[in-house]
């Protein structure tokens, strides 16, 4: 097992500052190095330029994954509609996936370059849960759509029956109405 990274050993406020600057994505590595030194002059063990570079590379990888998941979730919401249930289901699946990714990244960042089999199994289970959440959400949406279709057909059947009872409606017209409504 490798040792803990220099950035992981820093106080939380320093890590948060570095991560904020990385999220802003406006500074070069040299500027980030200078910014940390300027923002925290009394820091006993300031991170080296190379440790910031390694941390930045891992951070950018996670952010890229996060952006991809966010885009995918937005596409899902756009495709499935703005209904709260649709959005919450898609976002729940994204949250589980994000959590699994973040956990894996944290473990690797802590120096666990070689993860134990139990860690890999835990991540596999998390991925499976995320996939099941997506599948369950799809099945729920399909069930709701089926129920809505059945209800619509019942309403159309009632309307068709009502229209067909009116005087002067021929059998041919009744048949055409029922076909047009998808009842026959």
pLDDT tens for the chain, 184 residues long, are 456 778 888 888 998 999 899 988 899 999 999 999 999 888 888 888 999 998 898 888 888 877 777 776 666 666 655 554 555 566 666 666 676 677 767 766 666 556 666 766 776 777 677 666 666 666 777 787 888 888 888 888 888 788 878 888 788 887 887 777 777 6
pLDDT at res. 148? 85
pTM recorded for the entire structure: 0.43
Q: Long-range CB contacts (< 8 A, 24+ apart) of 7-11?
A: 7/47, 7/51, 7/52, 7/55, 7/109, 8/109, 8/110, 8/111, 9/45, 10/43, 10/45, 10/47
């Amino acid at each position: 097992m490798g040792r803990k990274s220099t950035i992981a050993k820093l106080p939380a406020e320093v890590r948060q500052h570095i991560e904020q600057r990385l999220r802003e994505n406006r500074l070069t590595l040299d500027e980030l190095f200078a910014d940390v030194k300027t923002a925290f002059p009394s820091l006993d063990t300031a991170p080296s330029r190379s440790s910031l570079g390694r941390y930045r590379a891992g951070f950018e990888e996670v952010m890229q994954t996060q952006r991809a998941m966010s885009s995918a979730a937005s596409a899902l919401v756009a495709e499935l509609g703005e209904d709260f249930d649709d959005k919450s289901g898609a976002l729940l699946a994204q949250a589980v996936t994000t959590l699994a990714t973040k956990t894996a990244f944290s473990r690797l960042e802590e120096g666990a370059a070689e993860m134990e089999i139990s860690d890999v199994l835990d991540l596999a289970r998390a991925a499976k849960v995320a996939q099941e959440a997506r599948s369950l959400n799809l099945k729920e949406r399909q069930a709701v759509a089926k129920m809505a279709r059945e209800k619509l057909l019942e309403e159309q059947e009632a309307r068709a029956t009502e229209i067909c009872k009116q005087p002067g409606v021929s059998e041919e017209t009744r048949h055409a109405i029922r076909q047009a409504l998808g009842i026959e």
